[in-house]
Structure formats: C-alpha cells, structure tokens
C-alpha cells in the first residue's frame, strides 16, 4: 500500500529493522547482580513494545494500524534473542558511541562510514524514554539509503566509561583506546593505528575497509 508516495510495506520493514535493533540491544546477558537488575528493567521496557506498536501510526494525514503479522514477527525476534542469552556473547572490539544530540546530517555520515567499516554504532538509551519515538528516529536515520543501523545499549557506555560523544573505542583484551570528538572514522582508526594500545585491531579494520 502506498500513501501519498510512501510505500507502507517498505516503511514497515524499515520500522521492524529499527525496532529489532532496539529489541536485541535490550536483551543483553545478565551475569552480575547489577546486570540482572538492569536486565529486569529492560524486560519491563520490552513489555511496552507491543502495546506501543499496536497504537495507530499517523502518516500523510491517514491513520494506519500495523498489521498483526508485523507484530508477531517482532515478538518472534524477541523470543529468539531471549533464547540466545545463555550463549556466550561476543562483544565487538571497535564501537562508535553517539547520541541523538548529534545533527542528523552528521549521523547519516557516521552510519554510512561505520557500515562500510563494519563498526557498530551505539546510543546510550531511548530518546525521551519513548520506544516509538526512538524507533522512528532510527528509521529516519536509515533513509534514504537504508544502510547501517544504531543499537541502544547503556551497558556498553558504562563498561567503557563513555560520558562524552561522539567517541570511538577500540579494545583488545583488557586494554582499550578511546578517541573523543568529531573525527572521521577512517582518520580516528589511523590515529589509533599509529600509536594506540590496540593498534593491531585498528590496523585490521583499516585493512578491511571497502
């Protein structure tokens, strides 16, 4: 269905992609007591997802309700993620930390570069503690090229002590390098590759860029 030039099927699929990214990020392992408490809070947040998604979505002056199949697909993704919690979680060795305060044009560039380099982009939390608003924001970032994506994972911010964004973190075992500021991703990796603790990791990512 198309509404005033908007392909509803494409829009639903992009929305699902953005929501699934959020959903999977909210299903992190809960190994420590503190993480278990955070995990419980995250599960409570997840319970609101379907209720919020069942609310009508206003597009082009016409109200449309997301179909049940789309909602069921989201629920299935959540169940699959929950079932995988017992497996060992592989953490990326390069992460780019951002926030919604970064101008949209800058975020588009970050996402394109990160996608090309295979680097995950992470936000601390939901925008205004609103899942639908955050999903809509992430969907907008994926347009018009529909590449890359942004995860929401506050545990990574805490793990690496990131309080200022944008920030690139390259880790290798117990060591890590952090570069803060609006620096192009390629250049940030080059700086770390020159004299960083994890220069080998940065060099590897530079070698794999396309």
* pLDDT(175) > 70: yes
Task: Give the separation between CA 177 and CA 190, rounded to whole angstroms.
Answer: 12
Task: Give the separation between CA 154 and CA 131, rounded to whole angstroms.
Answer: 15
Q: With CA atoms as reference, report the closest residue to 126 among 118, 138, 108.
A: 138
pLDDT at 66: 43
Residue recorded with tokens 């944008």? 166
* pLDDT confidence band for 68 (50 / 70 / 90): very low
Preceding peptide of 166 cis, ω within 30°: yes
> What average pLDDT does the segment 19-28 reach?
51
Task: Give the separation between CA 22 and CA 118, rounded to whole angstroms.
Answer: 18
Q: Which two tokens stand for residue 20?
A: 């699934």
List CB contacts of 63: < 8 A, sequence separation 6 or more. 56, 57
Q: Is 141 helix (H, G, I), strand (E, B) or coil?
A: helix
Q: Among the residues of 86-128, which ranges form H helices?
A: 104-117
> What average pLDDT does the segment 134-150 reach?
78
Mean pLDDT of the chain: 73
| 156-171 confidence digits (pLDDT tens) | 999 999 999 999 999 9
Q: Which two tokens stand for residue 150?
A: 């942004």
* pLDDT(146) > 80: no
In the chain, what is the straight-line distance between the N-terminal and C-terminal CA atoms, in Å? Answer: 36
Task: Give the separation between CA 102 and CA 125, rounded to whole angstroms.
Answer: 14
Q: Residue 120 burial by CB count (10 A; 0-12/13-18/19+): exposed, middle or buried? A: buried
Q: Which two tokens stand for residue 148?
A: 């890359």
Q: Which two tokens stand for residue 166?
A: 């944008």
Q: What is the pTM of this model?
A: 0.64
pLDDT at 5: 44
Q: With CA atoms as reference, report the closest residue to 210 among 116, 110, 121.
A: 116
pLDDT at 206: 93
Q: Are 55 and 136 in contact (CB under 8 A)?
A: no
> What average pLDDT does the segment 1-17 reach?
49
| 81-126 confidence digits (pLDDT tens) | 555 554 455 578 999 999 999 999 999 999 999 999 999 999 998 8
Domains belonging to the chain, first-starting first, are 1-83 (no CATH), 91-210 (3.40.30.10)
Q: What is the largest CA-CA distance in the chain?
A: 56
């Amino acid at each position: 269905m198309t509404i005033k030039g908007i392909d509803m099927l494409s829009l639903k699929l992009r929305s699902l992609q953005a929501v699934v990214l959020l959903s999977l990020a909210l299903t992190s392992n809960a190994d420590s007591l503190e993480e278990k408490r955070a995990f419980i809070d995250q599960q409570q947040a997840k319970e609101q997802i379907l209720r919020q998604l069942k609310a009508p979505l206003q597009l082009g002056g016409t109200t449309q309700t997301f179909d049940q199949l789309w909602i069921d697909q989201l629920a299935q993704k959540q169940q699959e993620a929950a079932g995988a919690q017992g497996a060992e979680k592989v953490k990326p060795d390069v992460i780019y930390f951002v926030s919604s305060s970064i101008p949209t044009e800058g975020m588009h560039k970050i996402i394109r570069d990160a996608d090309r380099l295979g680097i995950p982009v992470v936000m601390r939390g939901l925008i205004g503690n609103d899942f639908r608003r955050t999903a809509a924001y992430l969907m907008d970032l994926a347009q018009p090229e529909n590449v890359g994506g942004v995860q929401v994972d506050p545990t990574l911010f805490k793990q690496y002590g990131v309080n200022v964004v944008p920030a690139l973190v390259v880790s290798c075992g117990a060591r890590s390098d952090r570069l803060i500021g609006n620096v192009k991703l390629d250049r940030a990796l080059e700086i770390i590759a020159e004299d960083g603790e994890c220069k080998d990791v940065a060099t590897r990512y530079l070698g794999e860029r396309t």
